[in-house]
Structure 1
Amino acid sequence: MTFTDLQKQRRTTYTLGKKIPQTPEEIFEIVKSAVKYAPTAFNNQTVRTILLTGAFHEKLWQLTADRLKAEVSDEIAYNNTLAKLNSAFKTGYGTILFFTDTSVVKSFEENVPLYAENFYDWSEQGHGIAEYATWLALTEVGLGASLQHYNPLIDEQVADNFNVPSSWRLRAQMPFGTIESPANDKTFEADENRFKLFKS
């Protein structure tokens, strides 16, 4: 499968299942490789991950549901959100948590002052690359995923329950699993509104 094929096949998948052919250790190696070889500014390697499977994966989404219940006063809105958590995320095999190691960002801000104001932005760019690389790597082995952002709402609960170092800042959650239902067709903005070519 070519890189372009992987890009076209990767989709946001909300109907996930648990019966994947890979072991947790195999998924762990896929994630490690994807993040390890993704580029970062100054090779500062600010991206950190935690892989949750089984009861730990389910605990994350229960913690999220409990935290949302404390924030969402409208019962109908909460029940709609709870249904999504249970049907689109918790039903998957696992979740990858993505973090920024802020101590590394701070160190580069202090030691390379000429670019100090850029290092946080660059760390976010590194995150996007690492998340996309991980998503493509999961796609390559036939798994579906989505990217969620319940941070900073659940930061404290995640830190307390999954032994997260204090310098790690939660940036995204990627639930994944088998693809139980195909995604809808993807639509695109007209090319002429997005791309320009200047040549001589």
Structure 2
Amino acid sequence: MSFLDKLKSRRSIYALGRNVNTDNSTIESVIKEAIRNSPSSFNSQSSRAVILFNGEHDAFWQIVEDTLRAIVPADAFAATEAKINSFRAGHGTVLFFEDQDVVKDLQEKFAAYADNFPIWSEQASGIAQHAVWLALADHNIGASLQHYNPIIDEQTMARWNLPASWKLRAQMPFGSIEAPAGEKAFMDDEERFRVFA
């Protein structure tokens, strides 16, 4: 399969299950390798990840549910709960962080680029997230990217005793693909690209 074929196979999968044929140690290794080999500005390696399986995976989505239950109107919560349950039904979750100590250190060392390092950190995080998504898809594991931060940050940091410098950027529930993604629409190329030769 070519890289572009693999790219096309990576879709947002919301119907997740726990019927994964890859063992957890292999999944862990795949995620680590994908992040380890993702580029970052100045080779800063600012991306961090927490990989959750089993009860830890469930505990994370309970944090999300409890947090949202406190702020979403009761009469509108059923749809929110159903969405959370679809993520909880998966096999695991990757929490993506960016280490702000790394960013601050680079800002001090390279003052001329200080304003750019937070931007470049976000770009590094996006690349790491995409790399993990592709790597999981390569093992026939579906995933989607979620963003419940920052409202869950405090509870998440406390639950797993994470360094204060880690800033939560995204959450990726993953698991077996219980139903395929729908058709994906693309805008016209003329609206997105300019080519000059």
TM range (shorter): over 0.9
Partner of 2:51: 51
Q: Distance in 1 between matches of 2:99 and 2:181?
A: 33
The reply on whether 1:152 has 2:150 as its aligned counterpart is yes
Task: State the SS of the aligned residue for 2:22.
Answer: coil
Partner of 2:15: 15
Q: Distance in 2 between matches of 1:93 and 1:154?
A: 20
Superposed, which structure 2 residues align to 1:132-171 within 5 Å? Answer: 132-171=130-169
Q: Tell me the matched-pair count.
A: 197
Task: State the SS of the aligned residue for 2:156.
Answer: helix
Across the aligned residues of Structure 1 and Structure 2, the Cα RMSD in angstroms comes to 0.7
**2:194 is aligned with what amino acid?**
K
1:76 deviates by 2.3
Partner of 2:83: 84
Q: Distance in 2 between matches of 1:6 and 1:92?
A: 21
Q: Distance in 2 between matches of 1:15 and 1:52?
A: 18
Task: State the SS of the aligned residue for 1:96.
Answer: strand
Q: Distance in 2 between matches of 1:186 and 1:55?
A: 33
Q: Distance in 2 between matches of 1:27 and 1:162?
A: 20
For structure 1, the residue ranges without an aligned partner over 5 or more in a row are none
1:77 deviates by 1.6
Partner of 1:112: 110
Q: Distance in 2 between matches of 1:152 and 1:129?
A: 20
For structure 2, the residue ranges without an aligned partner over 5 or more in a row are none
Task: State the SS of the aligned residue for 1:71.
Answer: coil
Q: Distance in 2 between matches of 1:76 and 1:84?
A: 15
| TM-score normalised by the chain length of structure 1 | 0.97
Which moved further from structure 2: 141-150 or 156-165? 156-165
* Runs of 4+ off more than 4 Å: none
1:23 deviates by 1.7
1:75 deviates by 1.2
**1:79 is aligned with what amino acid?**
A
Task: State the SS of the aligned residue for 2:108.
Answer: helix
Percent identity (aligned): 48
Partner of 1:75: 74
**1:118 is aligned with what amino acid?**
N
Q: Distance in 2 between matches of 1:169 and 1:151?
A: 9
Q: Distance in 1 between matches of 2:75 and 2:152?
A: 21
Partner of 2:28: 28
1:31 deviates by 0.5
Q: Distance in 2 between matches of 1:76 and 1:3?
A: 45
1:164 deviates by 1.0
**2:78 is aligned with what amino acid?**
N
Q: Distance in 2 between matches of 1:89 and 1:45?
A: 28
Q: Distance in 2 between matches of 1:111 and 1:134?
A: 30
